[in-house]
Structure 1
Amino acid sequence: MMESDRITVDFDNGAAWLPGLAAHLGNILPQYVGEAIAGTQPAGPNDASIALYQLVDKHALIEGVRAWITDQDVLVYHGTRINEAQRSSILREGLKLMSTADRISAIEAFLGDHPRWPEIAHRVPQAIAFVGRSGGVREGMVFALLSRSGLVRGCNHYLVEGSEFDHHVANYLLDSEICHEQNRRRGIGSLVQIRLRGEAALRAANPHGELGDQPNLIGELIEALAWWLATGDSDTEAFEEGAALVFYDPIPPLQINAIIQVSDEELWEHYDNRMR
């Protein structure tokens, strides 16, 4: 495919990419596939995709979607809460990999004005070590989601609370005390929009290799396609898709497409209360 023929797939904007994907799969999809899927009365996108798999060669469909997405660019979203200096740093230097060695100063900035800071300050290295061992594997990684609405509406604690690692440390130090005042002072909930080549997005969506017969990212595209074929509904934003991507290399600044601020009013409406 020529560079000029590439499109940018933003999952939540299904109307912009679903017709192109369907056209690419024209030799795989039966003529009346939409009516056939609709006839099964699917309750949602997953049901629709199951019906679609019964109507086509599943392997050919998956490989057709793979070929299409690897010829496109894909937008994905990293959720965080940052101040203006941090925003400028990301635009200038890109997104760095998570490193526990860098978190002491971040924790001091986060909790330094908390009334209990004098009591807990000496325990910060201990807390960082504990969370690094037991709070989930994050070292040397950057995480993103396929969908903006998935982050803003589905799991927006990243934007309300900022760094999940830092918040686990705060919970350890403060016995799960809620730190929303400190969170608000950290900055503004923000989506770092990252532009990837399709093949890079596919690798990041399957960080442990393609397990099973339906690779991540390809499966989400097929669900959206099947639902659209059956219903004509291209509102993929409504899916609040939670498909995650994991990166083991820093995201360079040239791949940072934009940093989009999200108001606290919108975030609190959908706050998932994750860290309480």
Structure 2
Amino acid sequence: MIVHFDKFETWEASFSDLVVRLLGEEVTQNLASSKFEYIDDAGDFLVRHSDIESVSTEIHSWILAHEFCSFHGTRLLPEEIFSVQNTGLHPLVASDREQRLRRILAHHPRWNSIQHMLLEVLDDVGPKEKQGRRQGQVHSSLSRSGLVNGFDHYLTHGSEFDQHVVRRLFDDQSGLELLSSQTVPVLVHVHFSGEQLIQGAHPFFGYLDVVGMGEIPGIARTFLDAWAFKIANPKFDLEKLRTDCCLMERFATQPERILEIEKLGDINAQ
């Protein structure tokens, strides 16, 4: 079974086995009888009854033993949907965005007067990394709800890179509106192995490096906190967490890793 973070039933049983093995039945029962108001407090309760290295090591092994679904949110032109289906997701290359942006922004009434600035802005936002720092990267989110109901600007206006570019070119929201007008919001469901998930969640400091710093790695804490809070509050819906757990890769997502391309309704009207 592929783990969907928001769908607790896809990972509850195996993660419960992990916690009981690590901390014992009594601690788990005490957690279940507690009522934590904040998710971090529930995770802290478990950590206090164990130690950072043990918790991190056990969760590391659990992640490696499972497969996961992550979500890349954006807005695409019709032909781009076909391209993703056939060639996958590719790391951002600023120069590759030129023709797309020219096609979209040509409809702007002020385009003729500012189009000469496009290449300079692409270079600034891309290779020079003056904004956003997305060059050479592919991003996705562990939580579908986090994308759709939380940080949904990818779905309302598309690529964060494109948004930075049009904000530089125009001094109002008109460029952003054009980014939406010719595209449709999509969620690309992407398969991650456990190893890919660990690497994607910790692209700068590796999982074991973080453990060596005396901390529980972020991806481990994401699952630990959510599980603990759900056990303490059984009626709580994990989708309401709207978890912002970003995964970043510096290589193409091959088409065989794409599980689904989900077209959404008009998210701008929601």
- Determine whether 1:186 maps to 2:182: yes
Instruction: Determine which of 115, 122, 144 is the counterpart of 2:109.
Output: 115
Amino acid in the other structure paired with 1:247: E
Output the CA distance in 1 between the equivalents of 2:61 and 2:118. 48
Contact 1:30–1:56 (CA under 8 A) maintained in structure 2: no
Identical columns (%) = 28
Output the CA distance in 2 between the equivalents of 1:83 and 1:260. 14
Output the CA distance in 1 between the equivalents of 2:52 and 2:125. 42
How many residue pairs end up in the alignment?
262
Q: Structure 1: where are the runs of 5+ without partners?
A: 1-6, 270-276
Give a deviation string over 1:215-251, Cα, whole Å, max 9, x none: 1211111011111222224622111000111101110
Report the secondary structure of 2:71's partner residue. Answer: strand
Point out 4+ residue stretches in structure 1 off by more than 6 angstroms: none
Q: Structure 2: where are the runs of 5+ without partners?
A: none
Instruction: Compute the RMSD of aligned alpha carbons.
Output: 1.7
Amino acid in the other structure paired with 2:160: E
Output the CA distance in 2 between the equivalents of 1:251 and 1:11. 20
Report the secondary structure of 1:207's partner residue. Answer: coil
Amino acid in the other structure paired with 2:117: R
Give a deviation string over 1:6-53, Cα, whole Å, max 9, x none: x31110101221122112333213213244235654212211001111
Report the secondary structure of 2:243's partner residue. Answer: coil
Contact 1:8–1:74 (CA under 8 A) maintained in structure 2: yes
1:63-142 alignment, distance < 5 Å: 63-132=57-126, 133=128, 134-142=130-138
Output the CA distance in 1 between the equivalents of 2:34 and 2:3. 29
Report the secondary structure of 1:26's partner residue. Answer: helix
Report the secondary structure of 1:49's partner residue. Answer: helix
- Determine whether 1:165 maps to 2:167: no
Output the CA distance in 2 between the equivalents of 1:80 and 1:41. 37
Give the deviation of 1:180 after TM superposition.
4.7
Output the CA distance in 2 between the equivalents of 1:34 and 1:264. 43
Output the CA distance in 2 between the equivalents of 1:101 and 1:184. 21
Report the secondary structure of 1:135's partner residue. Answer: coil
- Determine whether 1:260 maps to 2:262: yes
Give a deviation string over 1:36-72, Cα, whole Å, max 9, x none: 2356542122110011111234422221111111111
Give the deviation of 1:122 after TM superposition.
1.3
- Determine whether 1:204 maps to 2:200: yes
* Pair 1:92–1:202, CA change in 2 (3 A): same
TM-score if structure 1 supplies the norm length? 0.89
Amino acid in the other structure paired with 1:51: F
Output the CA distance in 1 between the equivalents of 2:12 and 2:53. 20
TM-score if structure 2 supplies the norm length? 0.91
